[in-house]
Amino acid sequence: MYDKNNVFAKIIRDEIPSRRVYEDEFAVAFYDISPRAKTHILVVPRGEYTDIYDFTANAPSDIQTGFWRAVRNTVDAMNLRENFRIVANTGPGAGQSVFHFHVHIMCDERFKSDF
C-alpha cells in the first residue's frame, strides 16, 4: 500500500530538499543522495504509485506518457543521450527501498565496456 509520507513524496512536496535537475507537471527529477555512478538521477512521477508494476497497471495513459516524456527530457537536460542506463528496482527482493515508483538514470564511462 502507498505511504504518503515516503521520502520521495516529501521531496515532491518540497518538505525535504533535493537537487532538482528537471520537473514538469508529470514528474520530478533530482540527484540521488547516494550516487552509484558518475551521474545518478532519480525520476519520480507526481502521482502515488508504489512501483513500476503498480504504475503501468493503474496510471492513466496520459500520465504514463507524460512520465516517460519527462524521463526523456531529463536525459536531454543532462546531456546523457550517448551513454545512460535506466533501472527500476521493483520489490524488496530486488533492492527497492523507497516505495514511490522511480527510475534511476545512471551514466558512467565504464558502461561502454560492460556488454
Report the distance separating Cα 13 and Cα 4, nearest Å. Answer: 10
Q: Which stretch binds ligand 5GP (CB under 6 A): 68-76, 77-85, 96-104, 107-115?
A: 96-104
Q: How far is CA 81 from CA 51, 75, 85, in A?
A: 25, 6, 10
What are the residues facing 85 on neighbouring strands? 106
Q: Does 18 bind ligand 5GP (CB under 6 A)?
A: yes
Q: Which stretch binds ligand 5GP (CB under 6 A): 27-35, 59-67, 69-77, 106-114?
A: 27-35
Residue from 13, 29, 24, 9 nearest 74 by CA: 29
Is 40 an active-site residue?
A: no
Residue 27 or 42: the one with the smaller Cβ distance to ligand 5GP is 42
- State the cell numbers at 105: 538514470
Q: Does 93 bind ligand 5GP (CB under 6 A)?
A: no
Q: Does 6 bind ligand 5GP (CB under 6 A)?
A: no
Q: Which residues are designated catalytic?
A: 102
